[in-house]
Copies of this chain bind each other. A is one copy, B any other.
Protein backbone atom coordinates (compact mmCIF):
# COMPACT_ATOMS: atom_id res chain seq x y z
CA UNK A 1 0.00 0.00 0.00
CA UNK A 2 1.08 3.52 -0.76
CA UNK A 3 0.35 5.29 2.52
CA UNK A 4 1.10 8.71 1.14
CA UNK A 5 -1.29 8.24 -1.74
CA UNK A 6 -4.03 7.08 0.64
CA UNK A 7 -3.64 9.57 3.43
CA UNK A 8 -1.84 12.50 1.92
CA UNK A 9 -3.15 15.81 0.70
CA UNK A 10 -1.28 15.66 -2.63
CA UNK A 11 -3.24 14.91 -5.77
CA UNK A 12 -1.37 11.93 -7.28
CA UNK A 13 -3.74 10.31 -9.76
CA UNK A 14 -2.74 6.76 -10.62
CA UNK A 15 -3.21 6.51 -14.37
CA UNK A 16 -3.33 3.00 -15.83
CA UNK A 17 -1.08 1.56 -18.55
CA UNK A 18 -3.12 3.47 -21.15
CA UNK A 19 -2.69 6.72 -19.20
CA UNK A 20 -6.29 6.77 -18.01
CA UNK A 21 -8.21 7.05 -14.76
CA UNK A 22 -11.86 6.07 -14.29
CA UNK A 23 -14.33 8.93 -13.89
CA UNK A 24 -17.73 8.36 -12.29
CA UNK A 25 -20.27 11.13 -12.83
CA UNK A 26 -23.29 11.57 -10.58
CA UNK A 27 -25.98 14.24 -10.66
CA UNK A 28 -25.10 16.58 -7.78
CA UNK A 29 -28.78 17.31 -7.15
CA UNK A 30 -30.31 13.83 -7.29
CA UNK A 31 -27.31 11.55 -6.68
CA UNK A 32 -28.17 9.50 -9.76
CA UNK A 33 -25.26 7.79 -11.50
CA UNK A 34 -25.11 9.42 -14.93
CA UNK A 35 -22.11 7.94 -16.70
CA UNK A 36 -18.70 6.34 -16.39
CA UNK A 37 -15.87 7.46 -18.66
CA UNK A 38 -12.09 7.84 -18.59
CA UNK A 39 -9.79 10.81 -18.15
CA UNK A 40 -6.19 11.22 -19.17
CA UNK A 41 -3.96 13.79 -17.49
CA UNK A 42 -5.02 16.53 -19.91
CA UNK A 43 -8.73 15.81 -19.46
CA UNK A 44 -8.30 16.01 -15.69
CA UNK A 45 -6.37 19.26 -15.99
CA UNK A 46 -9.04 20.83 -18.20
CA UNK A 47 -11.84 19.56 -15.98
CA UNK A 48 -10.25 21.27 -12.99
CA UNK A 49 -9.34 24.43 -14.92
CA UNK A 50 -12.71 24.95 -16.62
CA UNK A 51 -15.15 23.39 -14.14
CA UNK A 52 -16.62 21.38 -17.01
CA UNK A 53 -16.09 17.64 -17.38
CA UNK A 54 -13.58 16.52 -19.98
CA UNK A 55 -12.70 12.94 -20.85
CA UNK A 56 -10.50 10.91 -23.14
CA UNK A 57 -12.57 9.33 -25.89
CA UNK A 58 -11.21 5.81 -26.31
CA UNK A 59 -13.23 5.31 -29.50
CA UNK A 60 -12.05 8.53 -31.14
CA UNK A 61 -8.63 8.57 -29.52
CA UNK A 62 -8.88 12.23 -28.57
CA UNK A 63 -9.70 14.69 -25.81
CA UNK A 64 -13.45 15.00 -25.44
CA UNK A 65 -15.27 17.82 -23.74
CA UNK A 66 -18.57 16.27 -22.73
CA UNK A 67 -21.31 18.20 -24.52
CA UNK A 68 -18.99 19.86 -27.04
CA UNK A 69 -21.38 18.90 -29.86
CA UNK A 70 -24.63 18.13 -28.00
CA UNK A 71 -24.48 21.07 -25.64
CA UNK A 72 -25.09 18.69 -22.77
CA UNK A 73 -22.13 19.75 -20.70
CA UNK A 74 -21.51 18.64 -17.15
CA UNK A 75 -20.73 21.48 -14.76
CA UNK A 76 -18.57 20.22 -11.92
CA UNK A 77 -19.94 20.86 -8.43
CA UNK A 78 -17.40 18.76 -6.57
CA UNK A 79 -14.50 16.52 -7.50
CA UNK A 80 -13.41 13.65 -5.28
CA UNK A 81 -10.77 10.95 -5.57
CA UNK A 82 -10.69 7.50 -4.01
CA UNK A 83 -8.30 5.89 -1.52
CA UNK A 84 -5.73 4.61 -4.03
CA UNK A 85 -6.29 7.56 -6.39
CA UNK A 86 -7.29 5.47 -9.41
CA UNK A 87 -10.89 6.68 -9.66
CA UNK A 88 -12.52 10.12 -9.69
CA UNK A 89 -16.00 11.04 -8.56
CA UNK A 90 -17.37 13.99 -10.48
CA UNK A 91 -20.50 15.45 -8.87
CA UNK A 92 -22.00 17.58 -11.60
CA UNK A 93 -24.96 19.57 -12.81
CA UNK A 94 -25.93 18.16 -16.22
CA UNK A 95 -27.16 20.62 -18.85
CA UNK A 96 -29.20 17.84 -20.45
CA UNK A 97 -29.24 14.08 -20.98
CA UNK A 98 -25.84 12.63 -20.12
CA UNK A 99 -26.18 9.62 -22.42
CA UNK A 100 -25.61 9.78 -26.18
CA UNK A 101 -28.84 7.75 -26.55
CA UNK A 102 -30.78 10.71 -25.15
CA UNK A 103 -31.37 9.02 -21.82
CA UNK A 104 -30.80 11.09 -18.68
CA UNK A 105 -28.36 8.45 -17.44
CA UNK A 106 -26.40 5.82 -19.35
CA UNK A 107 -27.63 3.30 -16.77
CA UNK A 108 -31.20 3.02 -18.09
CA UNK A 109 -31.39 -0.76 -17.90
CA UNK A 110 -31.74 -2.97 -14.87
CA UNK A 111 -30.38 -6.52 -14.81
CA UNK A 112 -33.06 -8.97 -13.75
CA UNK A 113 -33.05 -12.75 -14.08
CA UNK A 114 -30.24 -12.57 -16.63
CA UNK A 115 -32.19 -10.12 -18.83
CA UNK A 116 -32.20 -6.34 -19.13
CA UNK A 117 -35.26 -4.31 -18.22
CA UNK A 118 -35.50 -0.83 -19.73
CA UNK A 119 -36.35 1.79 -17.13
CA UNK A 120 -36.64 4.76 -19.48
Contact = CB atoms under 8 A, between A and B. Distances in A.
Interface of A: 6-11, 22, 24, 26, 30-33, 35-36, 48, 78-84, 87-89, 99-101, 103, 106-111, 114-119
B116 A81 contact: yes
A21 B106 CA distance: 15
A89 to B, nearest CB: 5
Given A79-B110, A82-B106, A100-B83, A115 B10 contact: yes
B79 A111 contact: yes
Contact of A82 (B7, B35, B115): B35
Q: Point out which of A89, A103, A115 has the most chain B C-beta atoms below 10 A from its C-beta.
A: A89
A89 B109 CA distance: 10
Contact of A101 (B83, B103, B116, B119): B83
A106 B78 CA distance: 15
A30 B33 CA distance: 12
A113 to B, nearest CB: 9
B81 A109 contact: yes
A77 to B, nearest CB: 11
